[in-house]
Homo-oligomer: A and B are copies of this chain.
Amino acid sequence: MPLDAIPILAVPQGLHSDERSGNAPALLREIAEMLRRFLANGETSAIDLHALPLTPADLEWLREQLGGGEIAITLNAEGESSLNETACPGVWWVTHRNPNGAVDSEFIEVADVPDLVKAHHEDVVIGLDHLELLISDLSKQRAF
């Protein structure tokens, strides 16, 4: 089911942030579908939680249903991101914060590990260059 087909209603006007809209349970069904696709062919996917008509109470309910997992990841790059595994392995709750600590965006990601955490080939190449330079410098200093 494509994301734009998730049957979610607009938040009723006048709903308070501590009220549930009724939209969150459909997300659990969508996450289950995302997991089935991931198991079938390795397809990773994500839901932008702030793009959906969800109240803070909906997000809290969803987080409670998914539960907490064993793995917590922190990424510090122009603001801190947390990428926490839920009690459902392969389902990650990702929160990006701006440099002031305010939440910028939240995603549900379905993957073996969120792509942001993986070292990418071009960065490894640059890191190896630096390491080789360091080794060369240390050799000149007779540290070896």
Give the B-binding residues of A (Cβ under 8 A): 25-26, 28-29, 31-32, 35-36, 38-39, 65, 70-77, 85, 87-91, 111-113, 117-121, 123-128, 130-132, 134-135, 138, 143-144
Q: How many copies does the complex hold?
A: 2
Which residues of B lie under 8 Å from residue A39 when comparing CB positions? 121, 124-125, 128
Instruction: Give the residue name and chain of the B residue nearest to A138 (CB).
Output: B25
User: B72–A74 contact, CB under 8 A?
Assistant: yes
User: B131–A35 contact, CB under 8 A?
Assistant: yes
Which residues of B lie under 8 Å from residue A144 when comparing CB positions? 25-26
User: A77–B88 contact, CB under 8 A?
Assistant: no
What's the Cα separation between A35 and B118 when bound, in Å? 15
User: A75–B65 contact, CB under 8 A?
Assistant: no
Which residues of B lie under 8 Å from residue A38 when comparing CB positions? 124
User: B89–A124 contact, CB under 8 A?
Assistant: yes
User: B135–A32 contact, CB under 8 A?
Assistant: yes
Which residues of B lie under 8 Å from residue A25 when comparing CB positions? 135, 138, 143-144
